[in-house]
Amino acid sequence: AILLVGASWLLARILARIYAYYKFRCHLRCFPQPLRESWFWGHMHVAKWKHLASEGSARLDMFEHISLMTLDSLQKCVFSFESNCQEHPSDYIAAILELSSLVVRRQRQPLQYWDLLYRLTSAGQRFRRACDLVHGFTDAVIRERRCALARQGAHDFLEAKAKAKTLDFIDILLLAKDKDAKELSDEDIRAEADTFMFEGHDTTASGLSWVLYNLAKHPEYQERCRQEVQEVLRGRESEEVEWDDLAQLPFLTMCLKESLRLHPPVVGIARSCAQDVVLPDDRVIPKGAICIISIFGIHHNPSVWPDPEVYDPFRFDPENSQKRSPLAFIPFSVGSRNCIGQTFAMAEMKVALAMTLLRFRVLPDAAEPRRKPELILRAEGGLWLRVEPLSARAQ
Ligand code: HEM
């Protein structure tokens, strides 16, 4: 799911940058800034967790719950669609989850790499059905939006969306033109939207699950983050984290970054060498060679990160960060094919973490999780933690 192939990646990158730095902040209705009602509240697992934890504390698999939240929020940001999948089963979300797990299983079966053979297997048939369902959903949204666009005309369409703050990713793609002033085809739009749905849910869910684990293991850091959030929200009528608040959470950000170092959601990337690369010991990686670069390995290199297995957020104290190479910490990769969703991901993780800590105490489970690197970094059998509502105010 981490691959975006074909000629459209450049376009996707340009669009995503605009989306991340401008439209996203000003117009997305699901993010906290424009709305009084936070996308998180009642949207994230809060109500569900409270119910589950009503008898004291609940033992929950973070991946299961948080993946539903990240899918829910992506579906809102990409399509303006409210599936309520955290409360009720959704066929679309079930299909995305099924596709992600089928891709991992197929990876382990070299015989099934052959499309013709894969199509004949029961997994291949399930894959086809899930793909059809996901494509059908995206196609229906595009059709409906094209009709609205034709009815209203581009100017009024954009004006109405901007006013209601409901411009979403599909709208941006519909209105986009390439360098020859040509619009994107429905197929292009579908490919970009589906890519975002796949790239964006598992990775962010992994990042959030592991930071909650690390803070459960270090209650002193958890408490400091909670106090920071409480301080930012002090005196407000509502407990919403707004866009500008995200810059006022330096310690929480340090905790998040240290977690992305220790448990990077994407553990490695592959690159083909465009030219000979001379290593410091004079050995040469020849042009054309495919290299697997371990993000996990770089983040655990003891010559860069002393005591690499220790969770220490102060490594990301701005003073300490300045002393390190910018390539020592690369959870979103670097270079021209780095992650285009990183602004989105960091914002989403900060808001979700802040709102969770404001309402719940997170405690470790009796059994220590074992890391399980798949397409993303998971935990064997799920990442189980205990959550406890904080106070009567949180009830
Ligand atoms: C903590 C969360 C995330 C992490 C750690 C992460 C990490 C990465 C990494 C390492 C890559 C490079 C992959 C490679 O070179 O093979 C990548 C690419 C990508 N990511 Fe993310 N990502 C995250 C969240 C997101 C989100 C939320 C979105 C979209 C909403 C997204 C969209 C993409 C896309 C489209 C690419 C492909 C870019 C290209 O090939 O030009 N990611 N991501």
What pLDDT does residue 6 have? 37
Distance from Cα 395 to the centre of ligand 1, integer Å: 36
Kindly report the protein residue whose alpha carbon is nearest to atom 15 of ligand 1.
Answer: 269
pLDDT greater than 90 at residue 73: no
Q: What single DSSP character describes residue 269?
A: E
Q: What is the pLDDT of residues 168-182, one digit of tens each?
A: 888 888 888 777 778
What pLDDT does residue 45 have? 53
Read off φ and ψ for residue 168, nearest 5 degrees.
-120, -175
**Residue appearing with tokens 């989105």:** 344
Q: Alpha-carbon distance 9 to 16, whole Å?
A: 10
Q: Which numbered atom of ligand 1 lies nearest the CA of 337?
A: 41
Q: What single DSSP character describes residue 289?
A: -
pLDDT greater than 90 at residue 265: yes
Kindly report the protein residue whose alpha carbon is nearest to atom 41 of ligand 1.
Answer: 337
Residue bearing the bigger pLDDT, 37 or 308:
308
Task: Give residue 277's pLDDT band: very low, low, confident or very high (50, 70, 90).
Answer: very high
Taking residue 311's Cβ as centre, other Cβ atoms within 10 Å add up to 19
* Residue 341, ligand 1, Cβ within 6 A: yes
Q: What is the pLDDT of residues 97-123, one digit of tens each?
A: 899 889 989 988 999 999 999 999 999
The H-or-E segment that residue 218 falls in is none
Q: What is the pLDDT of residues 10-19, one digit of tens each?
A: 555 555 555 5
What pLDDT does residue 35 have? 31
* Residue 209, ligand 1, Cβ within 6 A: no
Q: Alpha-carbon distance 7 to 329, whole Å?
A: 29
Token output for 100: 């992600």
What is the end-to-end Cα distance of the chain in Å, rounded? 38
pLDDT greater than 80 at residue 94: yes
pLDDT greater than 50 at residue 21: no
What pLDDT does residue 170 have? 87
Q: Alpha-carbon distance 308 to 297, whole Å?
A: 10
Q: For residue 386, what are the β-bridge partners?
A: 59, 363
- The stretch 341-347 carries a mean pLDDT of 87
8 Å CB contact between 28 and 189 = no
- The stretch 307-327 carries a mean pLDDT of 95
Most confident of 7-21, 89-103, 202-216: 202-216
**Closest-CA residue to 245 (of 259, 230, 258):** 230
Q: What is the pLDDT of residues 126-145, one digit of tens each?
A: 999 999 999 999 999 999 99
Largest CA-CA distance found in the chain, in angstroms, rounded: 65
* Residue 17, ligand 1, Cβ within 6 A: no
pLDDT greater than 50 at residue 214: yes
Task: Give residue 348's pLDDT band: very low, low, confident or very high (50, 70, 90).
Answer: confident
**Closest-CA residue to 208 (of 4, 393, 28, 71):** 71
Q: Is the pTM of this model over 0.85?
A: yes
Q: Alpha-carbon distance 329 to 360, whole Å?
A: 29
Please name each of the domains of the chain with its CATH number: 8-266+300-389 (1.10.630.10)
What pLDDT does residue 42 have? 36
8 Å CB contact between 29 and 166 = yes
What pLDDT does residue 25 have? 45
Kindly report the protein residue whose alpha carbon is nearest to atom 7 of ligand 1.
Answer: 332
Q: What single DSSP character describes residue 201?
A: H
Kindly report the protein residue whose alpha carbon is nearest to atom 13 of ligand 1.
Answer: 2
Ligand 1 test: best mutation among 18, 293, 339, 348, most atoms within 8 Å of CB?
Answer: 339
What pLDDT does residue 231 have? 96
Q: Alpha-carbon distance 135 to 190, whole Å?
A: 7
What pLDDT does residue 84 have? 74
Question: If DSSP codes are grouped into helix, strand and coil, which group holds residue 64?
Answer: helix
291 is in an annotated binding site: no
Q: Alpha-carbon distance 149 to 221, whole Å?
A: 49
Amino acid at 256: L
What pLDDT does residue 316 have? 97
**Closest-CA residue to 262 (of 303, 297, 219):** 297
Alpha helices in 165-249 (DSSP H): 169-175, 186-217, 219-233
**Closest-CA residue to 210 (of 267, 160, 155, 250):** 267
**Residue appearing with tokens 């933690």:** 385
* Residue 169, ligand 1, Cβ within 6 A: no
Q: What is the pLDDT of residues 220-255, one digit of tens each?
A: 999 999 999 999 999 987 777 777 888 999 999 999
Task: Give residue 333's pLDDT band: very low, low, confident or very high (50, 70, 90).
Answer: very high
pLDDT greater than 80 at residue 5: no
Distance from Cα 155 to the centre of ligand 1, integer Å: 32
Q: What single DSSP character describes residue 177?
A: B
Q: What share of the chain in percent tops pLDDT 90? A: 47
Token output for 9: 């990646």
Q: Alpha-carbon distance 319 to 317, whole Å?
A: 5
Token output for 189: 């739009």
Token output for 214: 């690390």
pLDDT greater than 50 at residue 55: yes
pLDDT greater than 90 at residue 355: no
Q: Alpha-carbon distance 333 to 335, whole Å?
A: 7
Q: Which numbered atom of ligand 1 lies nearest the CA of 295?
A: 10
What pLDDT does residue 248 have? 94
Distance from Cα 165 to the centre of ligand 1, integer Å: 26
What pLDDT does residue 41 have? 38
User: Count of residues for the chain?
Assistant: 395
- The stretch 78-105 carries a mean pLDDT of 84
- The stretch 353-378 carries a mean pLDDT of 91
Amino acid at 373: P
What pLDDT does residue 48 have? 65
pLDDT greater than 50 at residue 389: yes
Q: Alpha-carbon distance 12 to 340, whole Å?
A: 8
Q: Alpha-carbon distance 185 to 276, whole Å?
A: 38
